[in-house]
Amino acid sequence: MSREQVFTLEATPLKYGRGAAGDAGWELERLGVTKAMLVSDPGVVAAGITDRVRQAIEASGIDVEVWSSARVEPTADSFAEAAAFAVDGGFDGFVGLGGGSSIDTAKVSDLIATHGGEIMEYVNPPVGEGRKPPSPLKPLLAIPTTCGSGAEATTVAILDIPEQKVKTGISHRYLRPNQAIVDPSLTESLPAEVVASCGLDVICHAAESYIAKPFSSRDAPDSPGDRPPYQGATPISDIWSAKALEYGGRYLRDAVAGDVEARGWMMLAASLAGIGFGAAGVHIPHACAYPIAGLKHEYQPAGYPDDHPFVPHGQSVIVTAPAAFRFTYDADPERHHRVASLLTGEPAEGIDALPDALTELMRDVGAPMGIGELGYGIEDVDDLVEGALKQQRLLVIAPREAGAEDLGAILRASL
């Protein structure tokens, strides 16, 4: 079988700047939308943001109905509730307004409203059936209100499957929003803990995609449709990921401390990283993050709604990153040095450079320093490994093959 020689870059058209959310109606009109479902969550409603955007949409003469029950860390059930609303509503366009969960909920609502079927049919195998949508969805406008998920730029919707104690996703290029509006003024009221978790997620997106194995190390697909959304690092994804790392290192600490301008830069970094990892993919820390978030629901994070215990996504990702990048170091030391150097703004060398840069940043922004703080002990490692191994879609682009023993060692080192 021959090696892959082709790579792609698809990016969501992006509109960035303070006040840009006021263009929501104009953008929907441009996309031909006359009746929109606006997906949001209770926190975004309470901050007054949902009303502002709804008014901006109505001012363009577009009908809009708000569905504001998007849940942080969505499940198939919460997706299904939104999808049922979408099917009943007869909408010809969708808006995801909020964190990654609201935007992902809008993606799935659009998918089911356009093509029907059950959510689990579309979920990535082996958890679901991996059904592919046959044609593009209805227009989707994404308006993030956090500085982290990059969901406005990606082709995935992540969900928690509590029955199987795993988090996984639906991923297809048609899920990518048709337009993103990134407005830094929407992040002003975000709690510091949320900014920290989101920002660490951004840094992992960028670091994992930059360190992913090169696209050219994959086998060529039999047909273009079989080319995976996560291709491995490409010369173009590197550009986006590197810039996001530079901004993350420079602005995350100030953003957590409440600096509005730094929050704006982190929002931009989230979108840049979203484009980078949307093409290249993420691997070991994200593969471990899904069982870390999915296996136990005991941790109650500060700064988040206290309606159900959960591990915020960014925290679940960052906790294994130092050990994961120590494991991958030998695959390409130069790339690990480069990531450390982009984060710190200084020359970096050696196996500890990147893990050290990450732990310093985690400490500075008050992140949990390991999976022990999230409620896990040595006795949970086997179950976590089992969950991480289900994320083959991610693990295949790790620069070094990570089997059960390797993942166990990474998780033990992350206790």
State the residues that interact with Fe ion by CB under 5 A: 201
Nearer to Fe ion, 20 or 273 (CB): 273
Q: How far is the CB of 202 from Fe ion (least distance, A)?
A: 8
Based on CB atoms, which residue is closest to Fe ion, 193 or 201?
A: 201
Looking at the Cβ atoms of 160 and 201, the one nearer to Fe ion is 201
Measured from the CB atom, is 148 or 184 closer to Fe ion?
148
Quick one: 40 or 149, whose CB is closer to Fe ion? 149
Closest-approach residue to Fe ion (CB):
201
- What number of other Cβ atoms are within 10 A of residue 132's Cβ? 11
Name the residue nearer to Fe ion (CB basis): 104 or 201.
201
In whole angstroms, the minimum distance from the beta carbon of 135 to Fe ion comes to: 28
User: Closest distance between Fe ion and the C-beta of residue 395, in Å?
Assistant: 15
Shortest approach of Fe ion to residue 248 CB, angstroms? 13
Could you give the 3-state DSSP secondary structure of residue 84?
A: helix
Cis before 229? omega within 30: no
**Minimum gap (Å) between residue 397 Cβ and Fe ion:** 14
Least distance (Å) from Fe ion to the CB of residue 226?
25
Q: What is the DSSP secondary structure assignment for residue 179, as one 8-state letter?
A: E
Choose between 123 and 348: whose C-beta lies nearer to Fe ion.
123
Nearer to Fe ion, 199 or 214 (CB): 199
Q: Give min distance, CB of 402 to Fe ion, in A.
A: 18
Of 273 and 340, the one with the shorter C-beta distance to Fe ion is 273
Burial bucket for residue 197 (CB in 10 Å: 0-12, 13-18, 19+): buried
- Minimum separation from the CB atom of position 198 to Fe ion (A): 9
Comparing CA positions, the residue from 219, 172, 206, 166 lying closest to residue 389 is 166
Q: State residue 116 phi and psi, 5-degree precision.
A: 70, -170
Helix, strand, or coil here: 97?
Answer: strand
Unique residue bearing structure tokens 């039999």: 222
Counting Cβ atoms within 10 Å, is residue 19 exposed (0-12), middle (13-18) or buried (19+)?
exposed
Shortest reach from residue 73's CB to Fe ion, in Å: 12
Handedness of CA 273, 276, 278, 281 (dihedral sign): negative
CB atoms inside a 10 Å sphere around CB 289: 29
Contact of 151 with 96, CB cutoff 8 Å:
yes
Helix residue ranges per DSSP H, 170-259: 192-211, 235-256
Contact 117, 130 (CB under 8 A): no
Based on CB atoms, which residue is closest to Fe ion, 73 or 201? Answer: 201
Angle at 198 between CA 354 and CA 54, to 5 degrees: 155
Nearest approach in angstroms of CB 174 to Fe ion is 20
**CB-based burial of residue 199 (10 Å sphere; 0-12 exposed, 13-18 middle, 19+ buried)?**
buried
For 353-359, the CB contacts below 8 A with 24+ separation are 354/207, 354/322, 354/325, 354/326, 354/329, 355/321, 355/322, 355/323, 355/325, 355/326, 356/322, 357/249, 358/203, 358/207, 358/318, 358/321, 358/322, 358/325, 359/322
Residue 222 has what DSSP assignment?
A: S
